[in-house]
Amino acid sequence: MESATWPVYSPFARKHYGKGVQVGRTEGRAEGRAEGRAEGRAEDVLTVLQVRGIPVSDADRDRITSCTDLNRLDDWMRRAVTATSTADLFDDTPERSVG
């Protein structure tokens, strides 16, 4: 059972133990915030389209909600204000890797 106490008491462990976990948590939080911003922006785009009475197909809804590129979502948000259809959102949108 002595090995169970090693991480707690060794000088090496006191210096290094848990550092990778902290980095992972920090990166995870940042990633979670970015995903949250993208999800929120996608919902904003869909809300503007809904309020304007523009129908959104399931495929278009999936395309909007699965997008994680904030620049693209910002472009779609601006276009949603004047769009007459979802096709107007996607016109001239270069196909980039979503993610």
Q: Give the pLDDT of residue 79.
A: 95
Q: What is the CA radius of gyration of the chain?
A: 22
Identity at 81, one-letter amino acid code: V
Q: Give the pLDDT of residue 8.
A: 56
In a structure prediction context, what are the per-residue pLDDT tens digits for the chain, which is 99 residues long? 444 544 555 566 566 565 655 556 666 676 777 788 889 999 999 999 999 999 999 999 999 999 999 999 999 999 999 999 999 999 875 544 444
Q: Give the pLDDT of residue 65.
A: 95
Q: Is 96 helix (H, G, I), strand (E, B) or coil?
A: coil
Q: Which residues of 52-89 are buried (b: 16+ CB within 10 A; e: fewer)?
A: eebebeeebeebbeebbbeebbebbbebbeebeebeeb
* CA pair distance 4, 1, nearest whole angstrom: 5
